[in-house]
Amino acid sequence: MEREPVFEKLNELKINFSVIEHPPVFTIEEMDSLGIFEGVSVCKNLFVRNDKGDKHYLIVTCKNKQANLKDISSRITESRLSFASEERLSKYLGLKKGEVTPLGIINDAGHSVIIILDKDLDDGKPLGVHPNDNTATVTISFDDLVRYIEHFGNKFEIMTI
């Protein structure tokens, strides 16, 4: 996916960000192995769907946390959450496996993906997320990420995961 539209939107919204270029990475372990994210809270992003398949969620949490989907589903009053297919990821966020990022809502024309942000990400450290491309990481503040989400009109919730 193209990263330029993300950069243009961040600039348009006057959001401060920096870009760290790196080889393609597909997992948190690969990100960690690069050793270039000192002082950055690298985010883990999980694209999930409800049991009926009519609602999609992007869970954004700290890289070292395990997201308990059963607990999260009960807190958002869904019967069950499970990982969404790569086809759904492409359809709703225009992304491929390894590129999952909250910045991908730029491609969600229907504003249908609901974002769940881990409250623990709001610790003052810059967040590290992909710009719709897994060969770079954008650092952005928690508050600016919330502003970005609000700009696109996607529903979101902040909770401790």
d(CA 90, CA 117): 21
| Claim: this prediction has a pTM higher than 0.85 | yes
Alpha carbon 121 to its chain's center: 12
Consecutive H or E run containing 84 = none
The values of phi and psi at residue 83, to 5°, are -65, 135
- For the chain, 161 residues long, give each residue's pLDDT as a single digit of tens: 589 999 999 999 999 999 999 999 988 888 888 888 889 999 999 999 999 999 999 999 999 999 999 999 999 999 899 999 999 999 999 999 889 999 999 999 999 999 999 999 999 999 999 999 999 999 999 999 999 999 999 999 999 99
What does the alpha-carbon distance between residue 41 and residue 128 come to, in Å, rounded to a whole number? 6
For 53, 98, 109, the CA distances from 72, given in Å and listed in that order, are: 16, 22, 25
